[in-house]
Amino acid sequence: MISFYGVSKFFKVKSGFLSRTPLVVRALQEVSLTIQEGEIVGLVGESGSGKSTLARVLMGLYPPNAGYFVLDGYDSRTMKKKDWLSMRRDLGIVFQDPASSMNPWMTVEQIVAEPMAIRKQSLQMPKKARRDRVVEILEKTGLEATVLKRKIHEFSGGQRQRIAIARALVLKPKYLILDEPISALDVSIQAQILNLLKELQATYRFAALFITHDLSKVQWISDRVAVMYLGRIVEVGHAATIFAKHRHPYTEALAKSRLDTNTDTRDFYALSGEIPSPINQPPGCSFAPRCDRVQDVCRTVFPPVVHNESENSQYSCYNPIPL
């Protein structure tokens, strides 16, 4: 199981050419979330809401300013460098743009075997066994052994993402981080890759954090969905019901924008009100400037999390939508 406990991550950025005082970007604020074994948790939120930052905290790239996470026996507060390395064995990662994380001079075989090489597994493994493992996982992702000696530029976007998924799964990790894995692909290819991920999940039973800003896909692949707004998780619920039965007004706005059939305007921007900024956040609920249920209390402190233990759901709102 992966559990985040009150994770906050701030970045200092230059405020301008002449100003000396840096501005603080509140990329994550008191984020708490669990991912159970074998569970796919979708993380949705508009661009800049902190989704990738949360993934990077889990990868050990950004030490949090507050809070911590626990992944099985690993606790981010006490982990040493060697612990991060061995934890990463249990964590496969797929990004939006796989080519950017792949060496153009390496063959597919080398790319997919890379996690084994980094973790020195390959040293103990005979070359033949290592190749068999690479071929096995490539075939599971829909590629044939004939691709082994080819280079990444010879493949289409969808095939590259299959190679990236094979690399992420080559060590059979218990957990996957999928950071917008389909966002850069053609719509027709997106469905193929999602289907593939579902099939692979049925085979390998990994748990995953599936990050996306695509509201129509997230429901289909996830067990639960967490909704992020300006660095905070404002609601978590079951994927099957969250866009029909939710408590938070932001989730409501997302649910409405999902129904917009015009794909040019669909997405998160159907909302009116000020454009949100993670730099100048108002006191209280950060959604207040755009919320049609806002009350005076909303502008005091951020609303506490209300848990529903039996439903494994939660929301943060002073004036939630009635059930």
CB atoms near residue 297 (< 10 Å): 12
Tell me the window of 28-36, 44-52, 63-71, 257-265 that interacts with Mg ion (CB under 5 A): 44-52
Q: Between 54 and 108, whose beta carbon lies closer to ligand ADP?
A: 54
CA atoms within 13 A on the CB side of 138: 22
DSSP 151: B
Asked if 49 is part of the footprint of ligand ADP (rule: CB under 6 A), the reply reads: yes
Q: Which of 53, 212, 251, 314 binds ligand ADP (CB under 6 A)?
A: 53
Q: Which does 5 bind (CB under 5 to 8 A by kind): Mg ion, ligand SF4, ligand ADP, none?
A: none
Asked if 27 is part of the footprint of ligand ADP (rule: CB under 6 A), the reply reads: yes
Asked if 52 is part of the footprint of ligand ADP (rule: CB under 6 A), the reply reads: yes
Measured in whole angstroms, the distance separating CA 210 from the mean position of its chain's CA atoms is: 5
Side chain identity at 226, as an amino acid letter?
Answer: A
Is residue 53 classed as helix, strand or coil in its secondary structure?
Answer: helix
Side chain identity at 280, as an amino acid letter?
Answer: N
- Report which of 168, 158, 244, 154 is spatially closest to residue 210, judged by C-alpha positions: 168
Asked if 52 is part of the footprint of Mg ion (rule: CB under 5 A), the reply reads: yes
Q: Where are the alpha helices (DSSP H) in 2-74?
A: 51-59
Contact call for residues 58 and 2 (beta carbons, < 8 A) = yes
Rg (CA), the chain: 21
User: Residue count at the site for ligand ADP (CB under 6 A)?
Assistant: 13
Asked if 276 is part of the footprint of ligand ADP (rule: CB under 6 A), the reply reads: no
Asked if 122 is part of the footprint of Mg ion (rule: CB under 5 A), the reply reads: no
Q: Which does 10 bind (CB under 5 to 8 A by kind): Mg ion, ligand ADP, ligand SF4, none?
A: none
- Per CB under 6 A, residues contacting ligand SF4 are 248-249, 285, 287-288, 291, 293-295, 298, 303, 317-319
Question: What is the contact surface with ligand ADP in residues (CB under 6 A)?
Answer: 11, 13, 25, 27, 45, 47-53, 278
